Structure 1
Amino acid sequence: MLPLQSSGLPAHQQHRPLSQCGSLDTQGYCGQEAGRRPEKRHGTGRDADDDRAVRAADRAQSARVKPGGDDLMDGPTLCDEEEEEEEAEEVEEEEEEEEEEEEEEEAEEEEEEVEEEEAEEEKEEEEEEEEEEEEKKEEEEEEEEEEEEEEEEEEKEEEEEEEEEEEAEEEEEEEEEEEEEEEKEEEAAP
């Protein structure tokens, strides 16, 4: 049975929207009003007229609510419930979109962190390579200096040897000269 805001019946027999009264009782009245209405009796009389009025009101309400369209009542109707369901679905979709956006942002942040870590590792590797190259260069320079020093020492030793040889030759020449003079003196003596 469709909800009806006002049917022209007494207040205790008027139907209310489901959102206001909960559920209908077995006789078609709102559960909140069940205790206030008079006991129904079958047959003729006031209660039978009330039954007919309720059925007429139900038919009028059914005619006034168009499937898929806007209802003409001021209170909540089936269309209102459909709208509420649609709104709930929209809210759920928005929440899902927000969750997806958050997940995407988290994924982007993780990617950025990974990229930063990789960049740092590359930088460290480059620094290590530079240090190794500098150390290698220093070692080569030290080796070159040592070789130069050794060559200088060898040259110096060679020069000293040459000087010693020259001195030895001079001494030999002096000795030969002395011997020649002695021989001349001996020959000249009577």
Structure 2
Amino acid sequence: MIDSKPKIIAIAAVSGGGKTTITSRLNQVLNNSKALYFDDYNVEGPEDIIDWVERGADCNEWSIEPIVTDVNSLINSSDVRYILIDYPFSRLHHDLKTIDLTVFVDTPLDIAMARRLLRDFRNINTEVIMDELSNYLSRGRIGYESMLKTTKPNSDVVIDGALHTDEIIKLILDEINKTES
């Protein structure tokens, strides 16, 4: 049984930046932790992401109520010490300001795009991949750059996403230990 409120840790990065991998690994190494993954939720957001970015990328346009509900449920749980959230908005969304530590995994955009292609387009024909790359260059990259201007500067810790996963985990664990000292 845990005596105090769980520590809420948010992991942010661009798509392909390592949020899910880092959150999963942290969940494996931290005792009494529970991980929540943004992509597991059916959250409502803007229909046109590029238009949303061009209008300022206000994360409050996203309805994250299902995530907030699960976080609050875990806060009230007596056996969770850490709540880990794979979550792109850091502390910027008005409905989830209770985050104790925000980490931005600053993955170079070329690495993030390569990871995304390997993850999402493994069994897709070349024409679809070429269309995706063309879309990224013509419109999509500004979404990635937006995170670097909004989420990254609003994070407590920024870690180089080109580092090996084990090194990233070690750096995050060091930050957690600092906040608990």
Shorter-chain TM-score bucket reads under 0.3
Q: Hey, which of these two has a bigger chunk of helix by percent?
A: 1
With normalisation by structure 2, the TM-score equals 0.26
With normalisation by structure 1, the TM-score equals 0.25
Tell me which of the two structures has the higher relative contact order, counting C-alpha pairs closer than 8 angstroms and 6 or more residues apart: 2
